Amino acid sequence: MSLDLTAREKALLAGADGDGAAMAMRIVVAAAELLGARELVEITSAHIDGCLYHGDGGVEFAETLARGGGRMAVPTTLNVGALDLLHPDVVRADAHRTEMARRQMQAYVAMGASPTFTCAPYQVGHEPGPGEQVAWGESNAIAFVNSVLGARTERYGDFLDACCAVTGRAPLYGLHLDENRRATVVVDARAVPWSLKSRDVFYPVLGTWLGLMLGQEIAVIDGLPGETTRDQLKALGAAAASTGAVALFHVAGVTPEAPTVEAALSAFGDFGAPRPGSLRRATEGVPRRIPVTAEGLRASLARLSTAAAAGTIDAVAVGSPHFSLQEFEELARLVAGRRLAVPFYVCTARATLAEAEERGYEAVLRAAGVDIVVDTCVVVTPILPASDGVLMTNSGKFAHYGPSNTGYEVIYGSLEDCVGSAVAGRVLRSEEVWTW
């Protein structure tokens, strides 16, 4: 075995902390070996994407870990489940599914994870700092924690995230290492007009394009506004992690590892020289540059809609990733005093909803006819009123997964267009921003 384990890690394997921790350690070790890692790294936080019910196997895994005395060794948040525990009538599911989904969510809470039930833990106070080693699951959260917060995680799938949390260890591999975090390609967005780059509707489309273009390559994006918001970066990462396996991107002048384009490409001045045996050598010569063109963006925009751009809609869903307080504020401003003609769902964390209630946004939304879903979302569990129809969204991730997960056709538009269309009951979309 080429993997070196510390005495403590060997003790965990041998059952020093019980059967649950031993099983978690066996799985972490198996992952480290298949990834080719030489050692494990201690982590300071975890985000577990394992409490969404996909079938009874996931419940059996969580309960086996819990029964074996498994406990979270580091501060750990939980991703969405398949139920809205605060509003149980929202999700349509049979008794077996409801019971198993609840057991799965509860098993992780019983092991000491925080019942956040959100895909955006970074919006409810879980914000590791630059350089911290963490183990996060959920593709958008992975992209955000790496790119926007500058902490370090690989793409952890269900089960491995929980095993890392229980052991407090992760395979030292990939994006945990300095030298694998540098950009290998420059995405040049300087020619995109300011009028588009300043709008939220741009970011999921850019993310969709980025994921399709890069797969899992790391880009530094040049030419985005210095005041690009966290919500815009969240939307960009979520879309890129849907169409590609993007786990890290840099934005020059915006994200922590990219004070400049050059810094993101070549150096980790703050973190020291590349380690011996690094997977990638320093980028030699001139890096590849890919321009963001109007044609490329329009093709990605088109990919985010499967329904006709002129026609009726049956529902609107926003909040993937989960709605932030700032997004609630914006939506409250847009719907105030209006009456929505179709069901309109906002998905968010219970903690964010509590804040939205305090600020009065929730009352404005409910008066207009908005439904608020917490702990889960409309694309992961049956909430939408029918098994087909047309769903409008401002989320690149909802647009990507909507058709296969809900049976609905999708149409993508800005939050403002979503509200306008929901009032009219048909698609009203401004197209002119996409032409230059």
Partner 1 sequence: MVRGRSLVPGEASGTLLRLTHPISFWGGVDPVAGEIVDPRHPQFGARLEGRVLAIPSAVGSSSSSAIMLELLREGTAPAAILMGRADAILALGAVVAGELGYDTIPVVEIDPEAMASLPDGSTVEVRRDGAVEVRSD
Using an 8 Å Cβ cutoff, are 368 and 340 in contact? Answer: yes
| Angle (nearest 5°) at CA 145 between 58 and 155 | 45
Using an 8 Å Cβ cutoff, are 262 and 241 in contact? Answer: no
Answer yes or no whether residue 274 interacts with partner 1 by CB under 8 A. Answer: no
In the structure encoding, which two tokens stand for residue 430, read together? Answer: 């401004």
Restricting to residues 204-243, name those near partner 1 by CB under 8 A.
211, 215-216, 241-243
Report d(CA 310, CA 289) in Å as an integer. 36
Task: Give the residue among 392, 434, 431 at the shortest CA–CA distance from 411.
Answer: 392
Number of residues that bind partner 1 (CB under 8 A): 46
Among 226, 404, 432, 435, binds partner 1 (CB under 8 A): 404
Answer yes or no whether residue 299 interacts with partner 1 by CB under 8 A. Answer: no
Using an 8 Å Cβ cutoff, are 202 and 117 in contact? Answer: no
Report d(CA 50, CA 45) in Å as an integer. 15
Q: Helix, strand or coil for residue 41?
A: strand
User: 25 or 340, CB closer to partner 1?
Assistant: 25
Nearest distance, CB of residue 138 and partner 1, angstroms: 6
User: 170 or 415, CB closer to partner 1?
Assistant: 170
Among 3, 11, 30, 110, binds partner 1 (CB under 8 A): 30
Q: Helix, strand or coil for residue 390?
A: strand
Name the percent of the chain in helix, strand, coil, to the closest 5. Answer: 40, 15, 45
In the structure encoding, which two tokens stand for residue 44, read together? Answer: 């300071």
| Angle (nearest 5°) at CA 238 between 233 and 239 | 100
CA–CA distances in Å: residue 139 to residues 109, 146, 155, 245: 21, 11, 7, 8
Containing H/E element for 69? none
Residue carrying structure tokens 């509707």: 201
User: 35 or 386, CB closer to partner 1?
Assistant: 35
User: 182 or 400, CB closer to partner 1?
Assistant: 400
Among 36, 125, 130, 193, binds partner 1 (CB under 8 A): 36
Answer yes or no whether residue 188 interacts with partner 1 by CB under 8 A. Answer: no
Nearest distance, CB of residue 79 and partner 1, angstroms: 9
Restricting to residues 141-170, name those near partner 1 by CB under 8 A.
142, 154-161
Answer yes or no whether residue 57 interacts with partner 1 by CB under 8 A. Answer: yes
User: 80 or 332, CB closer to partner 1?
Assistant: 80
Nearest distance, CB of residue 40 and partner 1, angstroms: 13
Using an 8 Å Cβ cutoff, are 399 and 412 in contact? Answer: yes
Among 81, 137, 274, 287, binds partner 1 (CB under 8 A): 137
User: 335 or 391, CB closer to partner 1?
Assistant: 391
User: 106 or 243, CB closer to partner 1?
Assistant: 243
Q: Give the number of other Cβ atoms within 10 Å of residue 286's Cβ.
A: 7
Report d(CA 358, CA 354) in Å as an integer. 6
User: 254 or 304, CB closer to partner 1?
Assistant: 304
In the structure encoding, which two tokens stand for residue 370, read together? Answer: 């908005």
User: 29 or 258, CB closer to partner 1?
Assistant: 29
Answer yes or no whether residue 14 interacts with partner 1 by CB under 8 A. Answer: no
Among 5, 13, 25, 27, binds partner 1 (CB under 8 A): 27
Answer yes or no whether residue 319 interacts with partner 1 by CB under 8 A. Answer: no
Q: Which residues bind partner 1 (CB under 8 A)?
A: 23, 26-27, 30-31, 34-36, 49-50, 52, 54-58, 60-61, 64, 137-139, 142, 154-161, 171, 211, 215-216, 241-245, 306, 400-401, 403-405
